[in-house]
Amino acid sequence: MTNANAAPPVLGGPCPYLSVSNAGQAAAFYVEALDATEVMRMPPDDKGRHMHIHLVINGGSLMLADAFPEHGHPLERPAGFALHLQVPDVDAAFDKAVKAGGEVVLPVQNMFWGDRYGQFRDPFGVLWSMGAPFEKG
């Protein structure tokens, strides 16, 4: 993890910036469940809330923050999107995420578009999907 004074580059295309119920715990979950690397964390405020945590997952950046309702950022249940990870071994990656505390939404299965694909919801309400190509037979 880098120090808060040296901002690492943001990787990938559009970078999700999630406001979650406990950004520090979410970061720990993503490290365990998704092999994330934490590259930056701002110190928490006097209530233990983090304004900014920068992770790298599967070659792309993911930003986290706690809710700050007094500054116009209330905690809301994530809805209307899924964060997708294309992985080499979807069965192993999915099982790891579920064992770490993810809740299965759609079990991994062969899909018509040529991926083995599944979805889980993390303990912070974020919907994740994972996929890997499979040989159609």
For the chain, domains (ranges, CATH) are: 17-68 (3.30.720.120), 83-133 (3.10.180.10)
Angstrom distance (rounded) from CA 106 to CA 76: 23
Section 90-98 average pLDDT: 98
If you average pLDDT over residues 5-16, what whole number do you get? 86
pLDDT over threshold 60, residue 4: no
> Which tokens belong to 36?
């994330």
Determine the 3-state secondary structure of 118 from DSSP: strand
- Please indicate whether residue 122 or residue 74 has the higher confidence score (pLDDT): 122
Mean of pLDDT values over 17-29: 97
Q: Calculate what percentage of the chain has a pLDDT beyond 90.
A: 83
pTM of the model: 0.91
pLDDT at 1: 55
Please determine, for residue 3, whether its predicted confidence score (pLDDT) is greater than 60. no
Q: What is the pLDDT of residue 5?
A: 59
Burial of 23 (0-12, 13-18, 19+ CB in 10 A): buried
Strands 115-121 and 60-66: unpaired
